[in-house]
Amino acid sequence: MRRVINSAIPFVLTLTIGIALDSLLNRFLFRPSVDQSRVVRAWVYEEPVAIVSVPDVELPKSVQQMGGLWTRVKLRALFDSDGQVKQISAVADGLPSMGFEDGRGQATRQLRTAQRQFMSEILRDVMQTAIDQLSRTKFKPRTVNGEFLPEWVTVETTFAYNFREQGGRAIDVRISGAHVMWTADTWSGRNWIIE
């Protein structure tokens, strides 16, 4: 027993001296500044972008004249810290393209010059409708520790319309970003009659 106590005494003394030296050195040599101590105690409270409302839009008149249409528009926008949508631009791979049917339901593969002009008018109208809808979108900006921050988002708007099918129309909107994901059909439940 005496042998165990004699071997434990140096260990306990060394441990006690080490702990005492560590606390003294940390107190005097490695003293954190006021700024460092604030950072150590800080909590990060973050809330993502919250979409409040995306306004309803009507399909453009040029789309209403077609028997069927499907097109997607991809936009990029800044949801700014002041709650405004800014800097809306088309994403290069998101420029509208479309599939459509002629009156007999057959896919049209070759378009005449007049048809191409009509299609470019439709694409322009669809793009403008998507931009108008996005510019009127209401949201609550992203916040970090109570400070509002801007967020870049990508918005994909899909326009689908088929005159012959009941419920064959939709305007789907998907908003995505680093701190936001929202999707909905902004057309659902409408009764639409062509004049």
**pLDDT at residue 28 in the model:** 62
Q: What residue segments make up the domains of the chain, in order of their start?
A: 2-41, 46-185
Q: In terms of Cα–Cα distance, which of 35, 73, 59, 68 is closest to 175? A: 73
Query: Following CA atoms 85, 88, 94, 100 in sequence, which dihedral angle do they give, to the nearest 10 degrees?
Result: 80
| Banded model confidence at residue 104, pLDDT cuts 50, 70, 90 | very low
Reported pTM: 0.63
Q: Is the pLDDT reported for residue 153 higher than 90?
A: yes
Average pLDDT over residues 125-145: 91
Q: pLDDT (tens digit, 9 = 90+) per residue, 183-195?
A: 887 765 444 443 3
Q: Residue 20: phi, psi to the nearest 5?
A: -65, -45
Average pLDDT of every residue of the chain: 75
How is residue 95 annotated by DSSP? Answer: S
Q: Is the pLDDT reported for residue 158 higher than 80?
A: yes
**pLDDT at residue 75 in the model:** 92
Q: Is the pLDDT reported for residue 37 higher than 70?
A: no
Q: What percentage of residues in the chain have a pLDDT greater than 90? A: 21
Residues 6+ positions from 172 with CB-CB distance below 8 Å: 157, 158, 160, 183, 184, 185, 186, 187
Cβ pair 149, 142 in contact under 8 A: yes
Give whole-number Cα distances, 56 to 89, 110, 171, 181, in Å.
Answer: 20, 34, 9, 19
Q: Is the pLDDT reported for residue 100 higher than 70?
A: no
DSSP string of 14-80? HHHHHHHHHHHHHHHTSPPPHHHHHHHH----EE--EEEE----PPPHHHHTSSEEEEEEEEEEEE-
CA-to-CA distance for 124 and 134, rounded, in angstroms? 15
Q: pLDDT (tens digit, 9 = 90+) per residue, 48-88?
A: 999 998 888 887 877 777 767 788 889 999 999 999 999 99
